[in-house]
Structure 1
Amino acid sequence: MTGERIRVAIADDQQLVRMGLRMVLDAQPDIEVVAEAEDGEHAVAVASDGGVDVILMDVRMPRLDGIAATERIAAAGPLPRVLVLTTFDLDEYAFAALRAGASGFLLKDALPADLLGAIRAVHAGDAALAPSVTRRMIEQFTAHAAPRPSAELDALTPREREIFAAIAEGLTNDEIAARFYLASSTVKTHIGRLLQKLGARDRVQLVILAYEAGIAGS
């Protein structure tokens, strides 16, 4: 993928926000803003046209909110990946967007470097999660529900369950490799098997499933 630029679309109902994001992104040699959308309906249309790798998705927008738009985009296929932007770190709407198929979320007051890192991570197929915020958000969601058993968990090996829990902690592949004394390639293989066995779209959904199944501690 050397030399390829990440094609980004910005979906936000505030023009000034779109302009600010565009200025940051277009200054990067490996990122190109190829489209903008002022509401969720337009975001879905932009995604369906192809030619977009990552969509920055605001949560609260007119006509169609970011949650519904994300669900439609995710249901249509693995690309483009959706990175949700939210104002509040405990925004239940942002969590709903993750469940709808977003590949990560970021607070709107994040540093430019964090935004750029999140876009690159999502494009590479990883999750873009702020671990502390994600943990609080998911714990808030699961606090009022008993752990949900899953027959699919029975198919996991002990090592896969360990890595499953580590993913829920927000550990990177390298951190998981260091914890369990594994090669990074081995960790990737285990994660691929977890995705297949649990029917998860990506790393974000593995985190959610881990909390819902009681794999991750509170």
Structure 2
Amino acid sequence: MGVIRVLICDDQAVVREGLEMILNADGAIRVVGMAADGLEALELIPKCEPDLILMDLKMPGMNGIQATREATTRHPGIPVLILTTFADDDWVFDAIRSGAAGYLLKGTPRQELVAAIKGTVQGNSHIDPAVARKVMRRAAEGTPESSSSVFSELTVRETEVLKLLAQGLSNSEIAKNLHLTPGTVRNYVSAILRKLDVKDRTQAAILSIQYGLNR
């Protein structure tokens, strides 16, 4: 893949400009547009043709949850990576349900942000570790028996793939762990998404964490 084209959506100009400087400093990424709210981002997508949208959540007008839902519906091939200050469970679950491909906090180091952008474009899931821990704690407080019906249609092998996927592993890494080919893993992931009725691997991973599949 060539240079990754990124559209930034954040209501604070200083944040947009800071992110632009950080991302453009990496030779593999170029910021092609910046929006101050969700509505502006939606208007810019067909003009800028980004490979990825870096989205804040709490913004005036159309917020990041609404914008993510609209963006992933209108442009399903363009992943949305959330970058926000909010680590509350409800924000996380709402963002993932809306189609976000990942969830990072604004304190994320530059190198990790760049790596997350590159990984997300390649189809990987990226959830901030602090956010993932909170989600897992919430899952631990739930009723574990409810998970049986959620994952009842998955085969043993699909369940193994889902558990590794929820740990953030790529298809190649899952293939290596289970001694499979990447193509076979892709087929398993497609079956998992279909059976769980979710849009992408990030939603599947969050569902796994939410119901304590990895416990």
TM above 0.5, yes or no, is yes
Tell me the SS of whatever aligns to 1:206: helix
* Displacement of 1:120: 1.0
Q: Which amino acid aligns with 2:96?
A: L
2:68 alignment partner in structure 1: 70
The range that moved more, 139-148 or 56-65, is 139-148
Tell me the SS of whatever aligns to 1:9: strand
Contact (CA 8 Å) 1:86, 1:94: kept in 2 or not?
A: no
CA distance in 2, matches of 1:20, 1:207: 30
* Displacement of 1:91: 5.7
1:86 alignment partner in structure 2: 84
* Displacement of 1:56: 0.7
Tell me the SS of whatever aligns to 1:155: coil
Contact (CA 8 Å) 2:126, 2:168: kept in 1 or not?
A: no
2:135 alignment partner in structure 1: 138
2:120 alignment partner in structure 1: 122
Contact (CA 8 Å) 1:53, 1:80: kept in 2 or not?
A: yes
* Displacement of 1:126: 1.9
* Displacement of 1:114: 0.9
Contact (CA 8 Å) 2:124, 2:169: kept in 1 or not?
A: no
Tell me the SS of whatever aligns to 2:151: helix
Residues 144 and 44 of structure 1: CA distance in aligned 2, closer, same or farther (over 3 Å): farther
Residues 75 and 150 of structure 1: CA distance in aligned 2, closer, same or farther (over 3 Å): farther
Contact (CA 8 Å) 1:150, 1:213: kept in 2 or not?
A: no
The range that moved more, 69-78 or 179-188, is 179-188
1:203 aligns with 2:198: no
1:33 aligns with 2:31: yes
Contact (CA 8 Å) 2:57, 2:64: kept in 1 or not?
A: yes
Residues 168 and 17 of structure 1: CA distance in aligned 2, closer, same or farther (over 3 Å): same
The size of the alignment, in residue pairs, is 214
CA distance in 2, matches of 1:54, 1:141: 29
CA distance in 1, matches of 2:189, 2:176: 15
CA distance in 1, matches of 2:148, 2:69: 23
* Displacement of 1:173: 3.2
Residues 73 and 201 of structure 1: CA distance in aligned 2, closer, same or farther (over 3 Å): same
What root-mean-square deviation, in Å, do the aligned CA atoms of Structure 1 and Structure 2 show? 2.4
Structure 2 counterpart of 1:52, from 29, 50, 65 = 50
Aligned residues with identical type, % of pairs: 38
TM-score (ref. length: structure 2): 0.86
* Displacement of 1:63: 1.0
Structure 2 residue runs of 5 or longer lacking an equivalent are none
